């Protein structure tokens, strides 16, 4: 109905622009999640193949996927093109990070010139997309991908599905361009709470398909380098031949079948993780959920937090120990590393916890595992000794934490962080009994950022609210520590950056703490005169006693 | 937080025309972060305000060259941004930002200042009047330099400034998306009145960068105009 005002040439042009705009949008998004810096050259002479006057490379597989998803259609009202970016761990767990939506609404701008204004505005919109793809949280995650996780994409066409993004996701609008047939809008919805989803929420869907953008996959196209080099030269071949996108003879696939969202199988070779030595090093107990991480751009200091399960500690900051049962019956059981390449294995969640399961220490890794953080609703999740009480017997429940760090003898440590009974602290019984806020502990209460609230705090102070938000009990989570360059695990499997940050703010010695120290000292001093008086009173008795000894 | 504000009146020292839209951004950064933060903002703006080189052909048509882009990682801020692939443009911005940073560090400065990026059009006048420069968009970045006491604070600052810059980028993109006034595409004879055609690989709109340093009393003690484009016909 809108076509009456639009010449057929304009209409054809417009459709072409929209089509190639969609393809380029996908390229920009996917390339921005490759984990590498992108670099293309400017060229003063137009090459004729650079749509929208921007040098955006076309990765053939990506174009292929996009075309498959579009199946000859264009974004229209109710039919949006979506690029879903998700993260997949080496354990097989995955999580949606972002959905980029290219939508069309009905608001038309009849006056606008197609070949000129629309084209230029689409170009501007692509530039905005280049800029915005670097500022959402997934960018930084994608730059660090490779060992513990990879970033995947999936393209689908149809209705936008945002439910996989978790609660409280945010939206950023990249921009809009009005056209005579509708207004194109480009936006991104992104997850901000990177707490891992609970097993309940995570249905066992088939793994998210898409081409893995990581170093392990053999590239199906001629170039043998993992991903496109930064110095792509328009016009040079680089050994790799890319079919020209702007091929006027190119025919869109004319099949109008309602094809399912584009899926494509990939294989990942598992990286080999080193066996983490079962060193007792840390005391912080953080309930763990499969591979869990909580990361908000605003508090990347959460990298203090111990790492996740199921990932080789070689790459993580801390050894990952799984208490097979730090309960009374099995005080110091540790699940050693699993069989496969040394990755500590996570026992599969049994359908019903059996005693046998509890005894089982190692299970081979065979697919997707998650450990469910047991709904430790009313319990103090910090206390290791409670770990098995009230929870069902399956071992995965006890994949709460364990990160046992030897606490310094004289450290002013709040009791609820440390299980006195189990931990091997000298003079443990002199440790302060009062439950103090974990304010002094930088591990728990990382030095402030006044504005943002670390979700980690929410989950660690989880007495009573360990379920925290909304039936999502599994807001308890652990951080992945992103490994800085050149650091490696040695005796203390903790990377240098974390070590440095952690020990930058050591907890205060209790004797130096004015309150406690002074208090006990004061008490001591106060009680001295009394004691002396008592002794003096009884001096005759003491003398008599001494005589009996002689 | 630092909201993006649009003002009608110009900051002192600049006098934009009636239709000049003005955007103000504010950031608080550590001394060593000034350059990268400024470059991130300026490059992001210029990414949106640069086209490929025009090549005029017969009958008033023209073709447009291709603009390449590249990622830039910041060393002192947890942040990355995209800039136009043009070494000349990058050099010009670095020069201006370098001067601004030095001025901020210099005596008389309380660590507060602002740097402005102004897009203008030239309007030719008859002799004896010199050509006018008519601004149509003005971006001002207000900077507050903070001093931090220890490494831990610096680490936090790296992250926080990174987050703030993410917000600024989103703000800039919002403004760009409004599709407000842009100079008309010029004919060949007019192109130098609208675009800076001196670079060999890209073509930004004509722009000027200037800065001011505020002394502790809040008044401007130095107004420095720096012309980055050799513009013999300007004021």
CA B55 to CA A47: how far, in whole Å? 12
Closest alpha carbon to A291 in A154, A425, A477: A477
Higher pLDDT, B127 or A212: B127
Q: To probe the interface with B, which of A44, A58, A120, A126 has the most B CB atoms within 10 Å? A: A44
Place of tokens 């070949």: A115
- Is A328 a domain residue? no
Within a domain: residue A261? Answer: no
Chain B contact for A50 (CB, 8 A cutoff)? yes
Does A496 map to a domain? no
With H, G, I as helix, E, B as strand and everything else as coil, classify residue B117.
Answer: strand
Averaged over B136-158, what is the pLDDT?
A: 93
Distance, in Å, from the CA atom of A117 to the CA atom of B184, rounded to the nearest integer, reads 11
Q: What is the mean pLDDT of residues B95-113?
A: 85
What pLDDT score does A463 carry? 37
Structural domain including A180 reads 8-197
- Examine residue A188 and state whether it is found in any structural domain, yes or no: yes
Per the prediction, chain B carries an average pLDDT of 84
CA distances (Å), origin B228, targets A111, A244, B14, B92, B97: 38, 39, 16, 7, 12
In a domain, A183, yes or no: yes
Residue A155 maps to which CATH number? Answer: 3.30.900.10
pLDDT at A271: 32
Q: Which residues of chain A have pLDDT under 50?
A: 1-3, 196-407, 413-423, 428, 433-442, 444-475
Among A51, A131, A187, A445, most B C-beta atoms within 10 A, so best to mutate, is: A131
193-232 in chain A: CB under 8 A from chain B: 230
Which runs of consecutive H residues, i.e. helices, occur in B9-150?
A: 34-48, 87-105
Is residue A102 a part of any domain in this protein? yes
The C-alpha angle A109, A114, A116, rounded to 5 degrees, equals 120
Q: What domains are there in chain B, each with its CATH number?
A: 21-213 (3.30.900)
Of residues A42, A131, A447, nearest to B173 (C-beta):
A131
Q: Which tops the pLDDT comparison, A161 or B69?
A: B69
Burial of residue B110 (CB within 10 Å: 0-12, 13-18, 19+) is middle
A297 contacts B163? CB cut-off 8 A: yes
Q: Which residue of B52, B78, B173 is in closest CB contact with A175?
A: B173
Confidence of residue B89 (pLDDT cuts 50, 70, 90): very high
B207-214/B112-123 β-pairing? antiparallel
- Residue A501 belongs to a domain: no
pLDDT digits (tens, 9 = 90+) for B23-38: 999 999 999 999 999 9
- pLDDT value of residue A112: 85
Is A550 within the bounds of a domain? no
Q: What is the pLDDT of residue A195?
A: 53
ipTM for the predicted complex comes to 0.87
Instruction: Report the domain count for chain A.
Output: 1
pLDDT of residue A517: 52
Q: Rounded mean pLDDT of B133-156?
A: 93
- CB of A41 within 8 Å of a chain B CB? The answer is yes
Q: Which of A46, A131, A297 sits opposite B66 (nearest CB)?
A: A46
């Amino acid at each position: 109905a809108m076509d009456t005002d639009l010449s057929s040439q304009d209409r054809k042009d417009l459709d072409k622009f929209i089509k190639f705009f969609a393809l380029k949008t996908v390229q920009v998004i996917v390339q921005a999640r490759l984990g590498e810096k992108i670099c293309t050259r400017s060229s003063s002479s137009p090459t004729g193949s650079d749509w929208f006057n921007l040098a955006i490379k076309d990765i053939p597989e990506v174009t292929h996927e996009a075309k498959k998803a579009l199946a000859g259609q264009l974004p229209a009202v109710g039919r949006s093109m979506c690029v879903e970016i998700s993260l997949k761990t080496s354990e097989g767990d995955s999580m949606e990070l972002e959905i980029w939506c290219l939508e069309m609404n009905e608001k038309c701008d009849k006056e606008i010139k197609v070949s000129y204004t629309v084209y230029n505005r689409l170009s501007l919109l692509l530039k905005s997309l280049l800029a915005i793809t670097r500022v959402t949280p997934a960018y930084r995650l994608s730059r660090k991908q490779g060992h513990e996780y990879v970033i995947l994409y999936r393209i689908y066409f149809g209705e936008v599905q945002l439910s996989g993004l978790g609660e409280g996701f945010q939206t950023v609008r990249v921009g809009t361009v009005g056209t005579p047939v509708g207004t194109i809008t480009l936006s991104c919805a992104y997850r901000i709470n990177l707490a891992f989803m609970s097993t309940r929420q995570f249905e066992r869907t088939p793994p998210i398909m898409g081409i893995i953008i990581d170093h392990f996959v053999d590239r199906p196209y001629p170039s043998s380098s993992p991903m496109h080099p930064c110095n792509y030269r328009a016009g040079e071949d680089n050994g790799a031949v890319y079919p020209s996108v702007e091929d006027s003879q190119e025919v869109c696939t004319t099949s109008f079948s309602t094809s399912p969202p584009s899926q494509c199988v990939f294989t990942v070779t598992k990286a080999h993780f080193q066996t983490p030595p079962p060193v007792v090093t840390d005391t912080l107990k953080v309930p763990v959920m499969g591979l869990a991480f909580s990361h908000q751009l605003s508090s990347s200091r959460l990298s203090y937090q111990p790492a996740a399960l199921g990932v080789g500690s070689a790459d993580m900051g801390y050894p990952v120990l799984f208490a097979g049962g730090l309960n009374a019956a099995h005080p110091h059981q540790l699940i050693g590393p699993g069989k496969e390449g040394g990755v500590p294995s996570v026992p599969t969640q049994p359908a019903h916890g059996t005693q046998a399961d509890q005894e089982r220490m190692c299970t081979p890794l065979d697919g997707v595992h998650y450990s469910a953080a047991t709904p430790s609703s009313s319990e103090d999740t910090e206390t290791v000794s409670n770990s098995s009480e009230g929870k069902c017997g399956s071992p995965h429940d006890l994949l709460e934490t364990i990160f046992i760090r030897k606490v310094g003898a004289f450290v002013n440590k709040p009791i609820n962080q440390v299980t006195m009974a189990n931990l091997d602290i000298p003079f443990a019984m002199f440790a302060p009994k009062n439950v103090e806020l974990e304010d002094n502990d930088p591990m728990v209460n990382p030095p402030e950022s006044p504005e943002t609230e670390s979700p980690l705090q929410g989950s660690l102070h989880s007495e009573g609210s360990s379920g925290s938000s909304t039936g999502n009990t599994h807001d308890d989570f652990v951080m992945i520590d992103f490994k800085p360059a050149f650091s490696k695990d040695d005796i203390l499997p903790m990377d240098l950056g974390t070590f440095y940050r952690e020990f930058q703010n050591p907890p205060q010695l209790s004797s130096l703490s004015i309150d406690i120290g002074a208090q006990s000292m004061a008490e001591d001093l106060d009680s001295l005169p009394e004691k002396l008086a008592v002794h003096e009173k009884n001096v005759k008795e003491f003398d008599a006693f001494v005589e009996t000894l002689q | 937080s630092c909201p993006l504000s649009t003002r009608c009146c110009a900051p002192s020292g600049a006098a934009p025309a009636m239709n000049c839209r003005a955007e103000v951004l504010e950031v608080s950064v550590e001394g060593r972060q000034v350059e990268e933060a400024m470059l991130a903002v300026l490059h992001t703006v210029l990414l949106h305000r640069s086209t490929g080189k025009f090549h005029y052909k017969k009958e008033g048509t023209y073709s447009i060259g291709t603009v390449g882009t590249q990622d830039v990682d910041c060393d002192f801020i947890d942040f990355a941004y995209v800039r136009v692939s043009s070494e000349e443009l990058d050099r010009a911005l670095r020069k201006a930002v370098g001067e601004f940073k030095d001025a901020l560090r210099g005596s008389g400065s309380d660590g507060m200042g602002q740097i402005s990026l102004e897009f203008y059009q030239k309007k030719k006048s008859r002799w004896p009047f010199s050509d006018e420069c008519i601004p149509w968009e003005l971006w001002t970045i207000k900077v507050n330099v903070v001093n931090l006491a220890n490494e831990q604070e610096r680490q936090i600052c790296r992250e926080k400034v990174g987050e703030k810059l993410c917000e600024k980028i989103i703000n800039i993109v919002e403004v760009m998306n409004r599709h407000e006034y842009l100079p008309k595409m010029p004919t060949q004879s007019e192109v130098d009145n609208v675009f800076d055609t001196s670079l060999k690989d890209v073509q930004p709109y004509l722009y000027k960068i200037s800065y001011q340093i505020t002394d502790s009393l809040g008044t401007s003690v130095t107004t420095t105009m720096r012309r980055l484009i050799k513009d013999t016909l300007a004021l």
